[in-house]
Amino acid sequence: MPRKHQKRWDDRDPDLRDLLRLPVGERPDLDAHRADARPAGPDDKDAARTATAELGERLAGLQERLWAAGTAGDRRRVLLVLQGMDTSGKGGTVKHVIGHLDPAGCRVRAFKAPTEEERRHDFLWRVRRVLPRQGEIGIFDRSYYEDVLVARVRGLAPPREIESRYGWINDFEHEVTDAGTTVVKCFLHLSYGEQKRRLLARLDNPDKHWKFGPGDIEDRELWPDFQEAYEIAMERCSTPAAPWYRVPADQKWYRNWAISRLLLEHLEELDPRYPKADFDVAECRERLLRAP
């Protein structure tokens, strides 16, 4: 009988990780890449939806195994980090990709501007408290990278402090990967033009106004600074243990497919297994049947 969790896609398909992973130690040139590229996978919306739903089922199966293994002491877990400019689809990814998983095994956390209490601690303090536990899939909608992105662009901390943070992030990520966490960092690459369309669409729909703030326009006016901050972060914090993936995000359906597939490839490599019974199955069975 074939193992249910074995790699099911055609092995001639390229590994999407290899296509989207940013090289370690190089500064990426975001302008040189298209945000509507499709380096592999479905070519249109309908095909992508079908493929993403199918990936979702396989992800759910692997998630259950990961969770089950965790109950028996397997320390492994996954942390999906989502970063990108406003409207790049971090929330949409949570809804449409993570929405396929069992909510019991997911730990979703959106990082806003730090509270007063959080500001009294180092920038990783609030992150450590919400890391996924063994067996879980944690999802960060924004993350500690904000502390070298918006913090850099808007000067929210002294330059020397920000310079130090890249190294602290690398240390931190080594620490969590050593503890059994597979860190999947996705930069949702949105184009300047597509962001304009999406922001206008929010303004044009009163039911979307709550998602909008004038700060979104201010950030947009600083677009080149943000792109540079992203490039620097990805240059300094793409490590073999925790690389960055650049996910083309101008097409929502492609973004959902690509992140589903990236997650799947990581989970298939983890290959979590249902744990063996640590009790006497036959004896339990008999005891159950013996009772009235």
The residue ranges that bind a copy of itself (CB under 8 A) are 68, 71-72, 91, 94-95, 98-99, 101-104, 106, 108, 110, 139, 141, 196, 199-200, 203-204, 206-207, 209-214, 217, 220-221, 274-277, 279, 281, 284-285, 287-289, 291
3-class secondary-structure state, position 245: strand
Cβ at position 202, least distance to a copy of itself in Å: 10
3-class secondary-structure state, position 136: coil
Rounded alpha-carbon distances, angstroms, from residue 111 to 95, 124, 242:
16, 12, 20
- CB nearer to a copy of itself: pick between 102 and 269: 102
- CB nearer to a copy of itself: pick between 5 and 33: 5
- CB nearer to a copy of itself: pick between 22 and 82: 82
- CB nearer to a copy of itself: pick between 23 and 91: 91
User: Which one, of 204, 226, 272, 231, lies nearest residue 6 by Cα?
Assistant: 272
Q: Angle at the Cα of 258 (from 255 to 260), degrees rounded to 5? A: 105
Asked if residue 249 lies in contact with residue 188, where contact means CB atoms within 8 angstroms, the answer is yes
Cβ at position 284, least distance to a copy of itself in Å: 6
21: DSSP letter? B
- CB nearer to a copy of itself: pick between 24 and 110: 110
Cβ at position 200, least distance to a copy of itself in Å: 6
Q: How far apart are CA 272 and CA 68, in angstroms?
A: 8
Q: How far apart are CA 136 and CA 107, in angstroms?
A: 7
Cβ at position 187, least distance to a copy of itself in Å: 19
Rounded alpha-carbon distances, angstroms, from residue 175 to 69, 77, 131, 181, 250:
21, 13, 12, 9, 33
- CB nearer to a copy of itself: pick between 116 and 207: 207
Cβ at position 104, least distance to a copy of itself in Å: 5
State both tokens at 66: 């990961």
Cβ at position 122, least distance to a copy of itself in Å: 22
Q: For the chain, first and last CA: distance in Å? A: 37
User: Which one, of 268, 240, 233, lies nearest residue 174 by Cα?
Assistant: 240
The whole-angstrom distance between residue 88's C-alpha and the CA centroid of its chain comes to 13
- CB nearer to a copy of itself: pick between 47 and 110: 110
Cβ at position 5, least distance to a copy of itself in Å: 11
